[in-house]
């Protein structure tokens, strides 16, 4: 588990995973856990203290809900529905300070809820339907609380009798469950014995396979080291590139539903761009030209012509591109393939590579921030949604693969929007191919470089936040001027003077204040005071939640902020 200590998001839902869920309480950075719709069983383990969402519905968990869940003060969403959980849910669950959604439906919970049960202020939806609960509903779960949606049908409560079972139904079923658990113990003993035999056979088979294939793997390691030993000037050494190819299952989630990465021929790219005609040129940056093309099957693509700064061997370059191809995330522009151009047939090096990406049709974020058409303008909630998506993508780049990808050229015009105005980050991860660091970088030096690059990403994201608050005009201003101006954002007068009028008109004061404070911290001259990306993501999600609540209040006719 120590290897995955930096994971913040795990989403392995709908994978038919079976067995026992290991103790993950040591994953101190974990914020989001989604293992719903699998075949996991046994008892629920304890959770990390800082987890925000736990989604474990549609499994086979049994036993009691751990009392520790009632101490998860940052927990906002808990879904344990459609399992076989028994006894009574901890009363503290309902009173957690951040909990907004609690779903315990379709289990075997029994007994009655305390009449003095307290509910947290953020609690909006509670589903305890289809259990074996009896008695009366506590006042904080009654229909008199209009701000809260409560589902409690299919129990044996002595209210709303049309949707409740007779009390004998809950009493009898509870007793049957106790008797069946005694029988299940003996069945479990037999099953465990059978599993032990099967595991022993599998272990033996695994050892046989290892003996057969390990020499081949060792040979590949040797060839890889030989291929890249003259390229140690980059931050990615032979050992790191090899290890980095083993990406976590959680990171693989982003690859679902996306085309497989493949190698393109130069003729294919010439045909797609009419021999790189000027009319297909979309732009030119420090890393090369970008062309718009149409493949033979009609798919539109963006083709980046990248000049490689070192004469990598072909094998080494392919390993690096293979590593880049593993970066799949819904908020990353999809890397579809590559084409390596060799200068002469008698040399093994290459100095030009074409990177083929999905074409994202709706322009970049900076252009949308400049939009004056009221129908197309990005309201505050729209901006938050885009920023959250990009923060998730960058956090994935930092933690989804080891070593992480840093210095990701974070700029507002590198955020592209699709037809649904969903943000996708472009120009990410190019350091694995193009960036060089000092030749005398050893392991400690690499760690120092990675930390500096991580800080650069946080600082750069801070200026994306600045543009989101003030508008794209800040791009032309000097950095020192902006840092001085940001100080005045802490008071209402400064906000009215500096903040984009669209933001002032569509943001709640609380949501705006959260992002202003976050922005100031991100662009702090002292790198030690800048937040981590998991903190950035958490604050943005919290700001979005606050904004959604405010928008809901305004729609329902309640008093809201209207600057």
pLDDT value of position 23:
86
pLDDT above 50 for 208: no
Task: Specify the range with the lowest mean pLDDT, choosing from 56-60, 103-107, 219-223, 269-273.
Answer: 219-223
Q: Which of 135, 165, 195 is the last residue of a domain?
A: 165
- Sign of the Cα torsion 388, 389, 394, 400 reads positive
The three-state secondary structure class of 531 is coil
- Do 275 and 161 lie in a common domain? no
Residues in the chain: 563
Residue 488 banded pLDDT, cuts 50, 70, 90: confident
Taking residues 220-233, what's their average pLDDT? Answer: 34
- Do 430 and 286 lie in a common domain? yes
- Do 390 and 503 lie in a common domain? yes
- Sign of the Cα torsion 324, 330, 332, 336 reads positive
Rounded CA gap, 110 and 156, in Å?
A: 10
pLDDT value of position 313:
74
What is the residue whose two structure tokens read 């009028």?
501
For the CA atoms of the chain, what is the radius of gyration?
A: 28
How many domains would you assign to the chain? 2
The phi and psi torsions of 345 (rounded to 5 degrees) equal -70, -20
Rounded CA gap, 231 and 188, in Å?
A: 56
Range of the domain at 335: 238-555
Beta bridge partners of 281: 291
What is the CATH classification number for the domain harbouring 304?
Answer: 1.10.510.10
Residue 482 banded pLDDT, cuts 50, 70, 90: low
The three-state secondary structure class of 138 is coil
pLDDT above 60 for 39: yes
Instruction: Summarize pLDDT for 68-97 with one digit per residue, the tens.
Output: 999 999 999 999 998 999 998 899 999 999
Q: Is position 207 within any domain?
A: no
- Do 355 and 450 lie in a common domain? yes
- Do 462 and 545 lie in a common domain? yes
Residue 557 banded pLDDT, cuts 50, 70, 90: low
Rounded CA gap, 490 and 482, in Å?
A: 14
- The overall average pLDDT reported for the chain is 78
Rounded CA gap, 309 and 65, in Å?
A: 56
pLDDT above 70 for 26: yes
Structure tokens given for 28:
């101190």
Rounded CA gap, 54 and 47, in Å?
A: 9
Q: What percent of the chain has pLDDT over 70?
A: 73
Q: Is position 228 within any domain?
A: no
Q: Checking phi first, is residue 16 left (phi over 0); if not, alpha (psi -120 to 50) or beta?
A: left
Q: Which pTM does this prediction carry?
A: 0.56
pLDDT value of position 455:
65
- Kindly state the DSSP code that residue 402 receives in the 8-state scheme: S
- Do 50 and 143 lie in a common domain? yes
Pairing status of strand 349-358 against strand 335-341: antiparallel
What is the residue whose two structure tokens read 């303008």?
377
Rounded CA gap, 523 and 529, in Å?
A: 9
Rounded CA gap, 127 and 326, in Å?
A: 39
Q: Is position 538 within any domain?
A: yes
Instruction: Summarize pLDDT for 240-295 with one digit per residue, the tens.
Output: 444 443 344 434 444 445 677 888 999 999 999 999 999 999 988 767 889 999 99
Question: Peptide bond before 403: cis, by omega within 30 degrees of 0?
Answer: yes
Q: Is position 203 within any domain?
A: no
pLDDT value of position 382:
94
Residue 1 buriedness (CB in 10 A; 0-12 / 13-18 / 19+)? exposed
pLDDT above 90 for 359: yes
Q: Is position 136 within any domain?
A: yes
Taking residues 43-56, what's their average pLDDT? Answer: 92
pLDDT value of position 4:
66
- Do 159 and 276 lie in a common domain? no
pLDDT value of position 348:
52
Cα→Cα distances 34→4, 8, 60, Å: 16, 11, 15
Q: Is position 312 within any domain?
A: yes
Strands (E), 447-553: none
Residue 493 banded pLDDT, cuts 50, 70, 90: confident
Rounded CA gap, 58 and 40, in Å?
A: 9
pLDDT value of position 271:
95
pLDDT value of position 246:
35
A 10 A CB-CB count for 413 gives 19
pLDDT above 60 for 49: yes
Instruction: Summarize pLDDT for 164-195 with one digit per residue, the tens.
Output: 888 888 886 655 554 444 445 445 545 565 56
Helix axes of 167-228 and 314-325: crossing angle, nearest 10 degrees: 160
Q: Is position 192 within any domain?
A: no
- Do 432 and 328 lie in a common domain? yes
- Kindly state the DSSP code that residue 298 receives in the 8-state scheme: S
The answer to whether 35 touches 21, Cβ cutoff 8 Å, is yes
- Do 287 and 141 lie in a common domain? no
pLDDT value of position 393:
92
Q: Which of 146, 165, 184 is the last residue of a domain?
A: 165
Q: Is position 562 within any domain?
A: no
Q: Which of 136, 165, 194 is the last residue of a domain?
A: 165
Of 354, 335, 235, nearest to 290 by C-alpha is: 354
What is the CATH classification number for the domain harbouring 132?
Answer: 3.80.10.10
- Do 370 and 496 lie in a common domain? yes
374 contacts: CB under 8 Å, gap ≥ 6: none
Count H helices, E strands: the chain?
A: 13, 22
- Do 266 and 149 lie in a common domain? no
């Amino acid at each position: 588990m120590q290897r995955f200590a930096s994971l913040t998001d795990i989403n392995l839902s709908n994978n038919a995973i079976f067995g026992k869920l290991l103790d993950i309480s040591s994953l101190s950075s974990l914020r989001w856990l989604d293992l719903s719709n699998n075949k996991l069983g046994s008892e629920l383990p304890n959770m990390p203290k800082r987890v925000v969402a736990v989604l474990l519905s549609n499994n086979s968990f049994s036993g009691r809900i751990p009392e520790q869940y009632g101490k998860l003060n940052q927990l906002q969403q808990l879904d344990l529905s459609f399992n076989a959980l028994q006894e009574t849910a901890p009363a503290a669950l309902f009173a957690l300070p951040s909990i907004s959604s609690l779903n315990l439906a379709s289990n075997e919970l029994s007994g009655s809820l305390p009449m003095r049960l307290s509910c947290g202020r953020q609690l909006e939806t509670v589903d305890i339907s289809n259990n074996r609960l009896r008695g009366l509903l506590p006042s904080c779960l009654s229909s008199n609380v209009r701000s809260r949606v409560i589902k409690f049908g299919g129990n044996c409560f002595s209210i709303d009798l049309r949707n409740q079972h007779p009390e004998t139904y809950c009493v009898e079923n509870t007793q049957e469950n106790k008797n069946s658990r005694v029988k299940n113990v003996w069945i479990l003993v037999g099953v465990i014995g059978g599993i032990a035999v099967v595991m022993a056979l599998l272990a033996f088979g695994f050892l046989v396979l290892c003996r057969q294939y390990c020499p081949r793997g060792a040979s590949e390691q040797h060839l890889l080291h030989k291929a890249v030993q003259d390229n140690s000037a980059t931050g990615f050494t032979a050992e790191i590139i090899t290890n980095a190819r083993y990406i976590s299952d959680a990171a693989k989630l982003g690859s679902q539903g996306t085309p497989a990465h493949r190698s393109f021929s130069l003729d294919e790219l010439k045909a797609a761009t009419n021999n790189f005609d000027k009319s297909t040129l979309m732009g030119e940056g420090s890393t090369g030209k970008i062309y718009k093309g149409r493949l033979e099957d009609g798919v539109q693509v963006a083709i980046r012509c990248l000049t490689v700064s070192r004469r990598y061997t072909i094998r080494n370059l392919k390993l690096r591109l293979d590593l880049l191809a593993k970066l799949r995330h819904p908020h990353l522009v999809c890397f579809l393939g590559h084409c390596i151009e060799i200068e002469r047939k008698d040399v093994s090096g290459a100095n030009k590579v074409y990177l083929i990406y999905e074409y994202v049709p709706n322009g970049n974020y900076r252009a949308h921030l400049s939009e004056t058409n009221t129908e197309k303008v990005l309201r505050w909630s729209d901006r938050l949604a885009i920023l959250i998506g990009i923060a998730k993508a960058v956090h994935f780049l930092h933690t989804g693969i080891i070593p992480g990808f840093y210095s990701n050229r974070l700029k507002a015009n590198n955020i592209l929007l699709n037809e649904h105005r969903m943000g996708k980050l472009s120009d990410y991860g190019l350091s694995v191919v193009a960036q060089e660091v000092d030749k005398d970088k050893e392991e400690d030096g690499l760690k120092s470089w990675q930390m500096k690059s991580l800080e650069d990403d946080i600082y750069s994201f801070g200026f994306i936040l600045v543009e989101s608050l003030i508008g794209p005009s800040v791009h032309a201003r000097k950095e020192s001027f902006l840092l001085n101006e940001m100080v005045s954002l802490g008071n209402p007068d400064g906000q009215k003077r500096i903040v984009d009028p669209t933001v002032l008109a569509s943001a709640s004061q609380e949501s705006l204040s959260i992002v202003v404070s976050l922005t100031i911290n991100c662009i702090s001259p002292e790198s030690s005071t800048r937040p981590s990306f998991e903190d950035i993501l958490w604050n943005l999600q919290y700001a979005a939640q606050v904004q959604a609540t405010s928008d809901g209040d305004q729609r329902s006719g309640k008093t809201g902020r209207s600057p």
